Amino acid sequence: MYVVSALKTADFFSFVASDDQDVISITEIWLFEEIDFLELFDDRNLVFRSDYGFSTNSCRRRSGFLIAIKKYLSPCILDLLECISRLSGFQSN
């Protein structure tokens, strides 16, 4: 089963490396825990990945999503609750 997954991973990496998208978003990724984002994207991308869901003794795939953004766009993680809190302190005129 991992061999099939490895082949699909290599195919995906080849596809992404040959296409020049600034942002790639994937939902319901169902990746194995052992698959690192470096197997999917080259070093031109910063990858944000969130796994959730399903794990059993026989299969450790997890649902989730990931977003890969070209580093030249300077992506970063924002704490939305903190941003909202700061904005609520501003009064509109």
Domain boundaries, the chain: 3-89
What pLDDT score was predicted for residue 54?
56
Residue 12's nearest CA partner among 49, 34, 38, 44 is 38
Reported pTM:
0.63
What pLDDT score was predicted for residue 72?
95
**In contact, 63 and 30? CB cutoff 8 Å:** yes
Tens-digit pLDDT profile for residues 10-69: 787 787 777 788 998 888 777 666 777 777 788 888 988 887 765 555 555 567 888 899
What pLDDT score was predicted for residue 3?
45
Helix (H, G, I), strand (E, B) or coil at 47: strand
